[in-house]
Amino acid sequence: MVNGEKASSELVACAEPQVIPRSEHSISRKHFSPNAIKVLYRLKDGGYDAYLVGGCIRDILLGVEPKDFDVVTNATPEQIKKLFRNCRLIGRRFRLAHIVFGREIIEVATMRGHHEASADKNQTSQSSEHGQLLRDNVYGSIEEDAERRDFSINALYYSIKDFTIHDFANGMDAIANRKIELIGDPETRYREDPVRMLRAVRFATKLDMEIAQPTKDPIYELSELLSHIPAARLFEETLKLFLNGKAQENYHLLREFGLFKQLFPALDDIIENSETGFETKFIAQMFANTDKRINAEKKVTPAFVYAALLWFPLLKRSEQLQKENMPLFDAYAQAMNHVLSENAQHVAVPKRFTLGARDIWHIQLRLDKRAGQRAYRLSQQPRFKAAYDFLLLRVESGEQEQADLAQWWTEYLQQDVNGQKDMVKGLGHGDSNKPRRRFRRKPKKKPSES
Q: What CATH number does the domain containing 45 carry?
A: 3.30.460.10
* Residue 139 DSSP label: B
Size (the chain), residues: 450
Single pTM value for the model: 0.84
* Sequence-separated (6 or more) residues with CB below 8 Å from residue 126: 133, 134, 135
Looking at the structure, tell me whether residues 103 and 176 fall in a common domain: yes
Taking the alpha carbons at both ends of the chain, their separation in whole angstroms is: 107
Question: Among all residues, which ones are annotated catalytic?
Answer: 68, 70, 150
Range of the domain at 94: 18-229
Q: What is the mean pLDDT of each run of 10 residues along the chain (450 residues)?
A: 39 73 91 95 96 94 91 95 94 86 95 65 50 62 91 94 94 95 95 96 96 96 96 96 96 97 97 92 97 95 97 97 95 97 96 97 96 95 96 96 96 95 82 47 57
Looking at the structure, tell me whether residues 199 and 280 fall in a common domain: no
Model pLDDT, residue 404: 96
Residue 254 lies in a domain: no
Looking at the structure, tell me whether residues 39 and 128 fall in a common domain: yes
Model pLDDT, residue 113: 85
Residue 7 lies in a domain: no
Looking at the structure, tell me whether residues 340 and 381 fall in a common domain: yes
Model pLDDT, residue 59: 94
Model pLDDT, residue 12: 57
Model pLDDT, residue 54: 87
Residue pair 183/143 in contact by the 8 Å Cβ criterion: no
Q: Look up residue 353 and give its amino acid.
A: F
Residue 389 lies in a domain: yes
DSSP tally for the chain: helices H, then strands E? 22, 12
Looking at the structure, tell me whether residues 157 and 57 fall in a common domain: yes
Looking at the structure, tell me whether residues 207 and 75 fall in a common domain: yes
Residue 443 lies in a domain: no
> What is the number of domains present in the chain?
2
Looking at the structure, tell me whether residues 52 and 195 fall in a common domain: yes
- Separation of alpha carbons 244 and 227, rounded Å: 23
Looking at the structure, tell me whether residues 200 and 284 fall in a common domain: no
Residue 245 lies in a domain: no
What is the DSSP annotation of 368-435? T--TTTHHHHHHTSTTHHHHHHHHHHHHHTT-GGGHHHHHHHHHHHHS-HHHHHHHHHTT---GGGPP
Looking at the structure, tell me whether residues 224 and 95 fall in a common domain: yes
**CATH, residue 408:** 1.10.3090.10
Model pLDDT, residue 421: 94
Looking at the structure, tell me whether residues 327 and 204 fall in a common domain: no
